[in-house]
Amino acid sequence: MAASPAVAQVAGAPAIPAFGAFFPAWLLCAALGIFGAVIARLVFIRIGLDDVLPWPLAVYTALAVALAVLASSLLFGL
pLDDT one-digit tens code per residue, 17-55:
777 777 788 888 999 999 999 999 999 999 999 899 999
Residue pair 31/23 in contact (Cβ under 8 Å)? The answer is: no
Q: What are phi and psi of 23, to 5 degrees?
A: -95, 140
Where in 25-67 does DSSP place strands (E)?
none
Phi, psi of 19 (to 5 degrees): 55, 35
Question: 3-state DSSP call for residue 21?
Answer: strand
Provide the whole-model pTM.
0.74
pLDDT of residue 26: 83
